[in-house]
Amino acid sequence: MTRRGRNIWPAAAALALVAGLGACASKGDSGPNEAPRSRTGVDDPGTGISVPFFGGGGNRNQQANQIGVNSFLWRAALDTLSFMPLASNDPFGGVIITDWRTDPNAPTERFKMTVYILDTRLRADGVKVNVFKQVNGVNGWVDAAVDPDTPIQIENAILTRARQLRLSTLGEK
């Protein structure tokens, strides 16, 4: 080994030691005489971001605004589309996308739906449904026209279910 190579090893070892000790010094853990700190490093529970996934405490109006959509419409849409396989759903953006579903009674047709929850209030214009239909032909699945009343009927079913959910929660109080 050259003389220059022997001089680098002590410097590299010292650098690794400093980096290793620096990684151990974390603000996330408290010492024996300190109050416990949170893992996020935020000591004041009033600061930071809080997302109540499981309906935790707090102001109900504040919780409703954190999701960004009306919870009754969201739940009603999921209930109404429960017969369809879900491809994705976004409770913060208010979008539910189903996967294709073929009815056993009509194996040459399949449907897919997208539901948009557009408002934080329970309103008739707070939900929009798009329905897509395909027919299995000689060339495979081909897009087909959907009856214009179908999305409206599904929207009405979602709104009816949302009203039922709201009335049931009012009855519990």
133, 109 contact by CB (below 8 A): yes
The two tokens of residue 87 are 């491809």
pLDDT score, position 9: 63
- Give the best-scoring range by mean pLDDT among 16-25, 39-48, 119-128, 153-162: 153-162
CB-facing half-sphere around the CA of 41: CA atoms within 13 A: 3
Residue 143 DSSP SS3: strand
pLDDT score, position 154: 97
Phi–psi pair at 157, nearest 5 degrees? -65, -40
pLDDT score, position 170: 85
Distance CA 159, CA 166 (A): 10
Residue at 109: amino acid letter: E
What confidence tier does 10 reach under pLDDT thresholds 50, 70, 90?
low
pLDDT score, position 165: 95
Distance CA 98, CA 84 (A): 6
Find the mean pLDDT for residues 38-59: 44
Q: Which of 169, 166, 148, 151 is nearest to 70 (CA)?
A: 166
Domains and CATH numbers, the chain: 1-48 (no CATH), 69-172 (3.30.530)
Which run of H or of E encompasses 95? strand 95-98
pLDDT score, position 16: 59
Distance CA 17, CA 31 (A): 22
